[in-house]
Each structure stands twice: as C-alpha cells, then as structure tokens.
Structure 1
Amino acid sequence: MTDATDPTAGHAGQLQRLARRGTVSVIGAGFSGLFGVALVVIVTNGFSREVAGTLFAATAAFLILESVALLGTDTGLVRWLPTQLASGRAGDVRRTLAVAIGPVLGFSLCVGAATYALAPTLAPWLVGDAQAGTMTGMLRVLAIVLPVAALHDLVVAATRGAGSMRPTVVVENIGRLGLQSLLVLLAWLSDGSPTVLALAWSFAYVPGLLASSFWLSRLVRRRARGQVATTGWADVAREFWSYTAARGIARVTQTALKRSDIVMVAALAGPAEAALYTAASRFIVLGQLFVQSVQQALSPQMSTLFARGDDRAANAVFQAATRWSMIASWPLYLVLAAFAPALMDVFGDGYSVASEVVVILSLTMLLATACGPVDAVLLMAGRSWLSLRNSTVALAVNVGLNLVLIPLDGIRGAAVAWSVAIVVRNVLPLVQVRRQLDMWPVTRPAVRVGAAAVGCFGAVGVVMALRDPGLVADASLTAVALAAYLALVWSWRETLGLAAFRSALRRPAVATPRMPAGT
C-alpha cells in the first residue's frame, strides 16, 4: 500500500488535467448509462421476453463481430496520436489515420458480408429453432450496418487521441445512444417487427459516423496545421501495427468477455433467459461506464507521460484515477446489491427473479474498481501483448465456466462465471503493473474511501436483509448513508486529491489548445 498523504504534491497539473477530461467523460457516461437502461426497459416492456432475448443475443454477437472488424485500432490510435503530438510529430497524424482506416474498412466489409450470408446457419445455434427466423432477420440487418459501426468507433477513438473528449460525449454518449433509444421506442410504439427493432437499434451509427468524422477532421486540421510528415509511410504502418496487432485480438477477447455470456445464455438456456440476464447485468454496466469514462480520459494522458519518461507523474495519475473511481462506483454497486429486487421490477413482470445476478456482479465489481484502470496502464506503457494474454485467459475462464454452470444453474451460473473472469482480468494486470512498471493503485486514502462506502451503504444492505422495513424506510436509510458518506469524503478532500476538480469548474471542460502539451 502506498502512503500517499498528499497525492497532489508535485503533480497538481497532471491531476487537474485528468479531472478536466474526466469530468467531461463522466458526464458522458451518465448519459450513456441512462440511455442504456432506458433502451433495455423499452425492449423488455414493449416486446415478448423471447424477442427481447433474441435482440440482446443478436446485438451481443454484433458487438463481438464489430470488435473483430475494428482490429484494435481504437486503442492503437489512443496510444499513438498523443505520442506523436507530444514528440513533435504532428505531421504523421494523417498517415497514422490512413494506415488505420484502410484495413478496418476492407475487413469490416468482409465480416459484414460473411455475417449476412451465414445468418440462417448461425441463427439456430444462437437461439434455437423456435426463434431462428427472427434471429436471421436481425443478424442480416446488423451485418449491413457493421462496417459503419466499426468506422464510427475508430473515428471517435481518434478524436480522443487527438486531445478532445467532447466528440465521445456529444456524438457517442448523447447523440448516438440517445437516438438509438428514441428509435427503439418508435419501433415499439409503431408495433414494429423484430427486424424493424434491429434496424432501429443499429441505424444511429450512420449519423454518428458522419458527425464524428466531421469533428475529427477539424481536430486534425487544428493539431497538424502547417506540420509536415517526418516518417515514411512504411515506418508509420510498421510502428502502428506492431503495437495494434495484439490489440486486434485482445479487443475481441475483451468484448467477448463482456458479451459472450449473453450469447451463451441464449444458446444454452434460451432467449427468454438471455433477456433476464441482460436486464440484470445492465445495472452493472452503469458502474462500468463510470470506470470506463475515467479510463478514456486517462489513456491519452498516460501515453503522453510514458512518452516523456515521467513515470512518477504517471503513477500519481493512476492512483488518482483509482481513488476517484472508487468514490463514485463503490456506493453505486453497494446500493445496487441492496435494492436489486426492486430495481429489477422496472424491466417488467417476472424480471425480479434475476436479482441474484445483480448482487453477485455488484459485489465482484468492488474488487475490480479497487484494482484501478490497470489494463489502460499496461496498454499505454506499450505492453499490448501482456494485455492480450490477460484477456485471453479471462475469456477462457469465462467460457469454460459458462459451459459448466449455465446448464447447472442458469443465469446465476453465468453470473458466477463472469465474476470469476472479472477477478482474473483485473488481478493479472495488477501484478504485472506492480512488477514491471513499479506502479500500484491502492493508497491509504483509497482504503479510507472503501471503508467509508462499506460502513455507510453496507449497513443499509444489512438492515434491509434482516428486517426489510419497506421501500420508503429503505430510501430514507440510504439518504442518511449518502449524507454521512459525502461528509466523510468532503473531510478528506485534500488527501483524496479532489482539489484538482476546482480547475474543472473554473475552466471549460475540454480545452483545445494549439499544441497538445500532454492533453
């Protein structure tokens, strides 16, 4: 454990930069979580459990295939664009974008065409014969949109690499996801078919790609104005793909780790069970979105710091990101575990039976959050092959346990399998970051935050489990716990490094300087 009584000492500027970028990213994560839950609520209340489960299985398969088509370029661009901008190579940015976009465009077209052609063959394996026709129609709609989705994710990642979080928030978190929820709602209100539902889910990628491409072109013109490329095309391609090749495989394994359980539940237990499992795991995504938003803000900054050889500042930023993630996510996960049955009722009749899934995954995410964004640190330090190995091991654990536990225990078995895989996925890079980079996320202030969250919100959960005084009393107890928790966090604001957020309140959330200077 690191004794960090004043974590901002000597690194205040870096923490302020992370706070500014992180504030914008967290706002985007809030919208993303809101729209994500709203979409699942619309689907589960507006369509039968079989159709809902089929959609969730189809979109999970789509996201896995899209991660295949993306070839890891999203992480590659976030790794290399800040490095080039920080080292005086702004003229190489356009070439890096070109060597990333070309292969993704070609490969995504091939993956989409193959998915369209094989949809009738894949459908019975994914959801059984009863829903095979529905799945075939959905897969074919999603296959057409797949190249657009891959390019959209690539371009949005490139805007973060170019120094701005705004496109991620405005175009992706608010624009695309908001439009997606609205179109799904319209599909329900118009009594749309399952194929129309899949089209409504996927169409928002089209305007998203147009908007993100326009934004990226402006950022590149601003960052690389008057700059001439200093590296040949072959060297740029070799540099980019020597790092990104591993990410192409790791991106697939990471997405599969998040989505394969939905596909496997649909295949092994039926689409109705997949609907239950997806609804239950949707609340866990809320906390994950916050952690992911911090990671998105952290990654370009870490890349810049590693490029400059400033390892001490990188460690300070890593520890701050961990503390700040715990401050917000630990109370959320503890409240989710306590209120799981009541929360599941929002998805419709019969969904509360999946509340155990919420409890299992919520408690597991406490450990995952305490490990910090360790994978982002490995990646930005150039250890992409280590990240690949870790995600492959975690995926193998997840798939193996799912094959055993889903037939035995249904969605609860799937939750246990995912929980074990989450632990593996975080502990492996935690050990590697410690040994290879001499970095560690846990500080004394972080331990205080964890203890305060468990003491305040864990007590509420214990009372609810023993007595169940009623929803109004439960909400009142939670409000008291929240007040006590916030008072403790406020009293520790200096040692937690929260003073860095003052800059986020005083300045624009995202700066757009002429030179990147580590942003």
Structure 2
Amino acid sequence: MTSGLLTANPAEQTRGAARGGLANIAGSALAGGVGVVVTWIVARRLGPAEAGAFFSATAAFVLAGGLAKLGTGTGLVYWPARLRATGRDHLLGACLRTGILPVVGLSLVLALAMGIAGSGGHRDALRMLAVFLPLQVLTDTLLTATRGYRSMRPTVLVDRVTRNVLQLLTVGAAALWFPSLPALALAWAVPYLPAAVLAGLAARRVHLTGRPAGATSRRAERRALRREFWLFTGPRALAAVAQLALQRVDVLLVAALGGLGAAAVYAVAGRFVILIQFANQGISQSVQPRLAEALSTGDRDTANRLYQVATGWLVLITWPISLLVILLAPYYLRFFGPGYAAGTPVVRLLAVAMLVATGCGMVDMVLAMAGRTSLNLGNVLVALAVTIGLDVLLIPRWGALGAAAGLAGAMVANNLLPLVQVYRGARLHPFGPGTRAAALLAAGCFGVLPWAVTTLAGGGPAGLALATAVAVPAFAGGAWLLRDRLELGAFTRRNPQEAS
C-alpha cells in the first residue's frame, strides 16, 4: 500500500485536507458550542466558588490526561503517515502497539494519584473524574491513530459529536436534578465510557482496512521502530504536557492565588479561546498526516502550500470570532450571569493574543511534522515559564486579568518562536495570498467597519447590533469575491473533468 501523496498533485492534497477539515470544523464548532453551554450551566447552577472548583477539577483532569498520552497525539499521526509514505506499512501494527500500551499503563497510575488528591468537595469531584481518566486517554489515543490513516470520520463522529452531545445531556440532567459539584463532575465525565468503546471499534476497522494483506515484520525492524518512535515522540510528550499546562495551569493558579471566585470569572471569560482552539484542531488534524507525508518525502512545495492554504482558512474562521468577542465582550459575559461582567478586560486581552496566534497558523504542528520535536519542547517550556512567571507576579494584584496577561504572553511566545524556526529550518511560512486576503477581509469587516458604525450610531446595544448586521453580510460577500484566492473551491466536490 503506497501513500496517495506519491501520486496526487498539490491541489488534490488541498482538496483532501479541505474535505477532512470541513467535517472536523463542523464537529469542532459543535464541540465548542457545547463547551460554552456546559460552562453556562455550571456557572448558573453553582455559586462562583463551586463553579471555580469544578473548572479547577476538570483542568486537572485534562492536564493528567495530557501527561498520560506521552506525546502520542503527534507520534501516532506522524509515524503511520511516514511508514505508509516510505513503503513500510507492514510495521503499522507494531507502531500502534508501541504507542498505545505505555499510554494505557500510565493513565491507570495517574488515575490512582488523582483519586487521592484534593480536599473537601474538590476532592470528591477529582475522585469522580479519576475513574474516567483511563477512558479519556484511551479514547483520544485511539482516535489519534485513526487520523494517522487519514481517517477523520471517527474523530468527528465519536469525539466531536457523540461525546459532546452526551456530555451536554448528562450535565444538563445533573444540573436539573442533582445540582452539586460531585454530580456535575460525574455527569461531565460519564460520556467517555461509550466514546472509548466506539473509538476502539473505529481504530480496529481502520487498521484492518489499511494494513497490507499478509503483512509481517521482523523483530529487528520492530525494535528499531520502537527506538525511532520514542526518540521522536519523547520530546513531544513533555511538550504536550507543557502545552496542556499552558491551557490549564492558569485556572489552577488563579484558584490558588486569587480564590475560586476569580477562577470562575477567568474560566468563563476565556471560554471563547477553547472555541478557537477547536477550529484550529479541526483544520490542523486534517492537514497533519498529509503534511507529514510531504515532509518525509522531501516535497517542500506541497508542504508549504498545505501550510499556507490551511492558515488562510484558519484566519478566515477565527479572526471574525476574536474581533466580535472584542466588540461584544460585556454582553457575551452577561450571558453567564451578572457576576462575570468584570471579566471584560480579560476577554479583550485574550482575543488580541488569539489574533496573533491564529495568524501564525498551526505552526507548532508544522514544526513537529518537520521532525523538530526538541525545538518544539523548548518553545513550549519557554512559553510555560512566561505564563507561570507573569501569573505569579500579576495574579495577586490583578486577579483574572493578571492570568490573562500571562496566557497572552505565552501564546505570543509559543507562536513567534516556532514561526522563526520553521522558516529557518524548513523554509516554510504561513503568509500566502490566502492568509493575507483573509486577514484583511476579517479586519476590515469586523474591525474597521464596526468601529465606523458605532462611532456614528453609538456603542450601545442598538449600535452594536447594527454594526454586527452590517459586518456579517459584508464579510460573506467579500469571502465570495475572494473565493479563488482563499481556495474555497477545495471544499466542493472535484470536477470529474479536472486533471489529476
């Protein structure tokens, strides 16, 4: 079985990424929306202190899961793609065993540690979550393996749709009938049980379909693969933990240094960041195996095209969200309750940082797919040092805003550093014609245009509603006019007459 990359032209690679990415973006939009609604339910049903404890417990759960996965979120995409591209697909089964078995063992150890941590109601929530930690880790790892075979459907259907819909239903039911911190934590984690079963079935089906008939491998080959796999994945394992710490440690630090009430405000104010991160994942997970194949065969032109086109799509989707959040921040926060309006500066600072981060595209993933996992680790550790240093310095004085400053500084560092390294090491960069067009269109329609409208009509609800009503159709019309430059035609079905 040979890789499709060896025969498909760059435009076909873009179409393949678009088709997988479109489904994943739709699923990610659903997951992000569910995350916002679940946050709203918890914030409205529990007091600020208990809501802060819930967000702290789930942050610890996600952080422990990231540690248990040992960087296989990259390794189990990079290595299957590389093995298929280089004609060594008879080693696919050995590759999966190499990545999955250590992850399962470590998840059990961390679940035990998590079950004896914490205190009070927070401890009860952690115990509930600890039971499901191995299931969460196994689900994510198995779905990662399916993406290594270029199959996005299991990730979309199992994780983005099934788990999130079940999570919304179980958390909603618990909020109605058992509105306590442990009950909501249990309801939030229960959907990982059916998700793990479905992920296992999907991984088995994809592997049996994708492996060559009668494939066998020698012991020396398997031993060499294990060594190469962990030499690549080891630095990424530490980087993945540090990356998760960047996303979650700030909530824990706000809870410790500023109190659980401040942690709840910060978690609610930053919820839109997760929505943007889901969009980033939706595109990058589809591009990732194709990019790995292109770089493993030395096809820099295809790799650069994939990176630039995908970044243009990412900017087109995420910049309007960030700019709208800046515009509507006070009203966005009131949705969660009157006590959260103090988070307006937090929202605006994080939104500006997200503009910088998404403008660089999925640069962290590109650096890893280029084999530079050690540089990737260094970058994440620098960013983690920035966020912890600023958090410790600023949270006691500014509370949630201090944590936002720490996270914003980390996001900028964690994108600009790899941006320079990717260009110097692989001569790749994200600033193609589509990226420039998407950035100018979004900034004009959701930045300049609303500013002009609110200057004339006022910044109250009526003026903001008018500004939004003008910006959305202007953006849609601009995207249609620029569809060729943005390569939006890749999301449509291929014309049968088109040359391969």
Deviation at 1:464, TM superposition (A): 7.3
Give 1:233-312 correspondences, 5 Å limit. Answer: 233-312=222-301
- The match for 2:122 among 135, 140, 145 is 135
- The match for 1:475 among 451, 460, 465 is 465
Return closer, same or farther for 1:227/1:258 CA change in 2, 3 Å cut-off. Answer: farther
Match of 1:50 in 2: 49
Q: What is the alpha-carbon distance in structure 1 between the residues aligned to residue 90 and residue 22 of structure 2?
A: 30
Match of 1:19 in 2: 18
Match of 2:442 in 1: 453
Q: Deviations over 1:331-380 (max 9, x none)?
A: 11101110011111111121111121111111111111111111111111
Deviation at 1:288, TM superposition (A): 1.9
Q: Which has the higher contact order (CA 8 A, sep 6+)?
A: 1
Give 1:416-431 correspondences, 5 Å limit. Answer: 416-431=405-420
Q: Deviations over 1:143-198 (max 9, x none)?
A: 22211211111011111112211111110011112211211111111124321211
Match of 1:363 in 2: 352
C-alpha contact 2:59 2:248 (8 A) present in aligned 1: yes
Match of 2:4 in 1: none
Deviation at 1:501, TM superposition (A): 1.6
Deviation at 1:134, TM superposition (A): 0.8
Match of 2:63 in 1: 64
Match of 1:101 in 2: 100
Match of 1:354 in 2: 343
**What secondary structure, in the 3-state scheme, does the structure 2 residue paired with 1:494 have?**
helix
- The match for 1:374 among 363, 368, 383 is 363
Q: What is the alpha-carbon distance in structure 2 between the residues aligned to residue 229 and residue 429 of structure 1?
A: 39
Q: What is the alpha-carbon distance in structure 2 between the residues aligned to residue 200 and residue 146 of structure 1?
A: 14
Match of 1:328 in 2: 317
- The match for 1:190 among 177, 181, 187 is 177
C-alpha contact 2:15 2:490 (8 A) present in aligned 1: yes
Q: What is the alpha-carbon distance in structure 2 between the residues aligned to residue 302 and residue 449 of structure 1?
A: 22
- Whichever residue aligns with residue 212 of structure 1, its letter is A
Q: What is the alpha-carbon distance in structure 2 between the residues aligned to residue 116 and residue 471 of structure 1?
A: 47
Deviation at 1:382, TM superposition (A): 1.0
C-alpha contact 1:367 1:423 (8 A) present in aligned 2: yes
- After TM superposition, the runs of 4+ consecutive aligned structure 1 residues lying more than 6 A away are none
Match of 1:201 in 2: 188
**What secondary structure, in the 3-state scheme, does the structure 1 residue paired with 2:493 have?**
helix
Q: What is the alpha-carbon distance in structure 1 between the residues aligned to residue 453 and residue 32 of structure 2?
A: 26
Q: What is the alpha-carbon distance in structure 2 between the residues aligned to residue 476 and residue 358 of structure 1?
A: 22
Match of 2:303 in 1: 314
Give 1:224-235 correspondences, 5 Å limit. Answer: 224-232=211-219, 233-235=222-224
Match of 2:5 in 1: none
User: How many percent identity over aligned positions?
Assistant: 38
- Whichever residue aligns with residue 336 of structure 2, its letter is F
Q: Structure 1 residue 114 and structure 2 residue 113: aligned?
A: yes
C-alpha contact 1:92 1:231 (8 A) present in aligned 2: no
Return closer, same or farther for 1:432/1:227 CA change in 2, 3 Å cut-off. Answer: farther
Q: What is the alpha-carbon distance in structure 2 between the residues aligned to residue 311 and residue 231 of structure 1?
A: 32
**What secondary structure, in the 3-state scheme, does the structure 1 residue paired with 2:217 have?**
coil
- Whichever residue aligns with residue 91 of structure 1, its letter is H
Q: What is the alpha-carbon distance in structure 2 between the residues aligned to residue 324 and residue 227 of structure 1?
A: 41
Structure 1 gaps, min length 5: 1-9, 124-131, 508-519
C-alpha contact 2:450 2:471 (8 A) present in aligned 1: no
Q: Deviations over 1:263-295 (max 9, x none)?
A: 111111111111111111111221221112111
- Alpha-carbon RMSD: 1.8
Deviation at 1:417, TM superposition (A): 0.9
Return closer, same or farther for 1:445/1:226 CA change in 2, 3 Å cut-off. Answer: closer
- The match for 2:152 among 147, 152, 165 is 165
Of 178-187 and 461-470, deviating more is 461-470
C-alpha contact 1:338 1:464 (8 A) present in aligned 2: no
**What secondary structure, in the 3-state scheme, does the structure 2 residue paired with 1:375 have?**
helix
Deviation at 1:469, TM superposition (A): 4.7
**What secondary structure, in the 3-state scheme, does the structure 2 residue paired with 1:495 have?**
helix
Report the TM-score, using the length of structure 1 for normalisation: 0.90
C-alpha contact 1:89 1:230 (8 A) present in aligned 2: no
Q: Structure 1 residue 211 and structure 2 residue 201: aligned?
A: no
- The match for 1:495 among 477, 485, 490 is 485
C-alpha contact 1:90 1:227 (8 A) present in aligned 2: no
Q: What is the alpha-carbon distance in structure 2 between the residues aligned to residue 247 and residue 313 of structure 1?
A: 24
Q: Structure 1 residue 385 and structure 2 residue 384: aligned?
A: no
